A and B are shown apart, each in its own frame.
Chain A
Amino acid sequence: MKMRGTPLRVLVLGTVAVLSVIYILPVYVMVTTSLKTPLEITQRQYLAPGGNLQFGNFATALRLVAPALLNSSVISVTVTALSVFLGGLGGYFLARFRWPVTKVIFVLLAIALYLPYQAVLIPLVRIMATTKLALTHFGLIFSYLILNVPLASILMATFFFSVPRELEESAQMDGASRLQIFFRIVSVVALPGYASTAILVFIQVWNEFLLALTLVTPYTTTIQVKLNDIKGSYVALYNLQMAAALITVVVPLTFFLFLGKYFIRGILAGALKG
């Protein structure tokens, strides 16, 4: 639906200009800050770029965050893989077994989708600690799984709804079991749905802060905790923090830019939580 007209063109360009300023200014501040010396940071000249550009800050920051990046990758990838797998099973149940109890399960899932983490934080930490999982990567992995499997199930259900039933019925005639049908036919057809769900779960886990902070250990520090940590509490090393942030934002940004299509499909499918 394209329309024409000079006033419209002016309006578009005007909007683009205003938005550009509002969205580029913070990035500009980020970049200039990341290149400053600690002394320039303490002078709090937020707008002015530093006189002596410290490109070495990026090397330092990368060295500091490298282990955390690895931790976050291990945790996010594992959670994503397990979430889409388990969520796929659950989603198939929601989509194909239309019993009264399915509605109940759906409502329980919908509530879980929007559950504020604070509401389960204390018991969760207690469980993780009692099972001795709290000190391992698996503590965070398991916690994120509990919180993300409901999300993955609902998202996958919406994709399975759109898979034609006829496909399954003909396979059933050929004597395939439900599980075979699920893995060999339905999942294959709904592959884009898996991609969408995976991206959503990945971004969510990658950016999570509160739980990661609560379950932090020296070996499992995630990137978000590290980002908060890196500036310290004394002489704030904002230059390193911003350099590290610029390095780490590459991961989710790549996802957004190249797989944005799937991302939006995922959101529209189930309305993710914040």
Chain B
Amino acid sequence: MSNGATKAPVSQIVVGVVIAALVAGVAGYWAGTQRGGGMAKAEERKLEIFHWWTAGGEREAADAMFKALKAKYPDIQLVENPVAGGGGVSHRVVLQARLSANLPPDTWQTLGGAELKSYVDGGYLVPLDSLYTEIKYSDAIPKPLANAVTIGGHPYVVPLNMHIQNILYYNKKLFDELGLKPPTTFDELLAAAKAIKAARPKMSPLGLGTKEKWEAAFVLDSLLLELGGPEYYVKLYKGEVDVATDPIFKAALDRLNTLRPFTYQFHAGLTWDESCGLVVSGDSAMVIMGTWAIGYFKSRGWNPGVDFGAVTFPQKPDRILLFHPDTYGLAKGAPHPKATLDWLKVVASPDLQVPTDVTQGGLFARIDIDPGQFPDPIRQELQNYVRSNPGKLILDQHGSIAPFSFTQAYWDVAAAFTAKPDVAGTVKGVNGLFTTYKVQEGAAWYQWP
């Protein structure tokens, strides 16, 4: 055994280690430069924000938000991390990864209700009681909205809008031509659908797109609300109704089935915007969609009150508005808490809400803003109604009342029903979901009225 033979491998190992160290060194340097050394200095005027408003009218709404921030705090450097995907599907992937790794952005877009609750339960958000007191935000927004962002007695996020879910849009010119009245009950809807079908046999009177699944639950929600009333609606999604034996749920499914021949047949392939597109292209005459559809119709050159109309659906037994808000909060361990609090104050202000909400499609979260700020009669009327009847707002299942795990599965079952109507099987399936996902336990936080 010569000395040289043992020496050579050692030197090879040294070479290997040196290479590894070099790689690690480059990595560390890279990491340092990319992060901008931002971790150390907590007072830097920077704000990292996650949101899912990335394109079309929503991108413009996001720009309006950030313009409001810049106007108020020109020194805050904004770091956007917009991730596209319907209603934030991809957004949640990235966010979840960052949160569970204790690497939160300063603030992120979230719906109120159960989605918010999942972040609060995870301990990722800071309660905002003092901010709410400071800017008296609880007085500025409707009570049901405040409840939807309050978990365990503390407000955790600042809502900037309210989307209303149960709106029926219709082709106004066609309705005028056929002498139809916009339907506000199921019977009227069915009658209108029949009349349209008779006059325009090639049309599918009711547009629908269930690719993202939740769209199917919207229609079902409206039917449930009419059959059961507001108290029933809340009880259902709090898991206090025995769906297996409940006549109302079954009746709602039957009604959904009755609408089937009048509904766009290939809905499983369309997203919500494409389903609204059916009304514009003349394939359909009506569609049930949230207030964000107003922005869509306008982007297609359709004017509210001229080309299309909108009514709350249903309006029996009561005119209830099912809503969910877009909100922002302050992350626990946020790198820039001061800048974030400044941002949240801007979110709460009319300076942000007016341009953003007018562009994006929802209602103002603040009810002290003049409804006349909306350019369209539809939202002027809705905002006025909310102003004088804040008690008629109920957090919707989309946002939601029930835990998010349930809601996702529920959408699938609802969408499956619209594709293959099996009433008994769906009743059984939905009933199972309520127990599987322990809805009663998970939704206990929500109180209405």
Contacts and interface: CB of A to CB of B under 8 A. Distances in A.
Are chains A and B touching in the complex at the 8 Å CB cutoff?
A: yes
Contacts of B299: 234-235
Interface string A216-236: 111110000000111111111
B55 A231 contact: yes
Given A42-B300, A232-B55, A177 B280 contact: no
B209 to A, nearest CB: 12
Interface residues of B, number: 49
Contacts of B295: 234
B75 interface: no
Contacts of B94: 213-214, 216
Interface in A119-148: 122, 125-126, 128-130, 132-138, 141-142
A233 B87 contact: yes
B41 interface: no
Nearest to B60: A234
B12 A233 contact: no
A213 B30 contact: no
B84 interface: yes
Contacts, number: 128
B155 interface: no
Interface stretch (B95-103, B107-115, B256-264, B342-350): B95-103
A201 interface: no
A237 B79 CA distance: 24
A22 interface: no
B81 A218 contact: yes
A43 interface: yes
A237 B84 CA distance: 12
A233 B55 contact: yes
B90 interface: yes
B34 A234 contact: no
B15 A179 contact: yes
Nearest to A145: B23
A190 interface: no
Contacts of A125: 97, 100-101
Contacts of A134: 97-98, 101, 103
A135 B103 contact: yes
B86 interface: yes
A128 B34 CA distance: 14
A246 interface: no
A128 B97 CA distance: 10
Nearest to B38: A135
B31 A43 contact: no
Nearest to B84: A229
A237 B101 contact: no
Nearest to B48: A218
28 contacts: A42-B277, A125-B97, A126-B101, A129-B101, A129-B103, A130-B101, A135-B31, A135-B34, A138-B31, A177-B9, A177-B12, A178-B8, A213-B83, A214-B93, A216-B83, A220-B34, A228-B85, A228-B90, A229-B54, A231-B55, A232-B59, A232-B84, A233-B84, A234-B57, A234-B59, A234-B295, A234-B296, A236-B274
The 9 closest A-B pairs by CB, nearest first: A232-B55, A129-B101, A234-B56, A235-B56, A136-B34, A125-B97, A177-B8, A229-B84, A129-B103
